A and B are shown apart, each in its own frame.
Chain A
């Protein structure tokens, strides 16, 4: 008997489900960053607003990468509905704390997909995921470095203004 399921689709049903969950997560990340950009803009932190707009766009590109991969493999990519996005923050620092939490959560979910790849010996998806694992290094570094600025500059006096000015300069240039 032919393996029609395999002929039609490269990834398993479980992999399809977890990849669609990741599509939703990336869409949610993009929406969260957009909400952060909005809060920063409303509260006079223009530099951080630009930084979060850029992050929102990056997350959207990640979502599309997953979306196209799922389709290319013959599975069904689901356009997610995103709701319940937090729009108010108690402080400037809380925005960056939430941003780091979000990145940690994304890294965790990508690690879960990698674990499933190993379990199913799906090395094709694993190879696709490698780019994201490397990307998470950069994303987490940037989010952690932004929070570090609160420690090294301090929030007193013109501290928050300085932090806002330097957030856009954060770069991750490791070639390792």
Chain B
């Protein structure tokens, strides 16, 4: 958390969405997002954030929970051409999904606000 505190004071960082298990921040200066989750603070650009969303949404949590096999309660979220990999438990996957859903809803809301403002200004 200390790292994001340092960032917020030095650059234009806005909190996009926060849950009990993590938070997403947007950096307007660098056009990127910082995800504070599972004890890591990772930087994602536009493409990688979309890839992360796709990878996380793609995980069938229900199937994992109902799987009777004796396997580790872990899932590797690997994103191609991205510096970060998450190794998450099932509960963390649910938490990350919730965090990303909230984030993309907020980004969509931000987009709607921008559109409305442009329309009024035009």
**CB within 8 Å of B: which A13-46 residues:** none
B11 at the interface (CB under 8 A from A): no
B107 at the interface (CB under 8 A from A): yes
**CB within 8 Å of A: which B12-38 residues:** 14, 16, 26, 28, 31-33
CB B60 to nearest CB in A, in angstroms, measures: 19
B: number of interface residues (CB 8 Å) = 15
Tell me if A6 and B111 are in contact (CB < 8 A). yes
Tell me if A1 and B14 are in contact (CB < 8 A). yes
B104: nearest chain-A partner, CB-CB: A13
Chain B residue numbers with a CB within 8 Å of A1 are: 14, 16, 26, 28, 110
A8: nearest chain-B partner, CB-CB: B46
A134 at the interface (CB under 8 A from B): no
B50 at the interface (CB under 8 A from A): yes
B114 at the interface (CB under 8 A from A): yes
Task: Give the contacting residue for B50; candidates A2, A6, A76; CB below 8 A.
Answer: A76
A4–B16 CA distance with the chains assembled, in angstroms: 12
Chain A residue numbers with a CB within 8 Å of B28 are: 1-2, 4
Residues of A within 8 A of B (CB): 1-9, 76
Residues of B within 8 A of A (CB): 14, 16, 26, 28, 31-33, 46-47, 50, 107-108, 110-111, 114
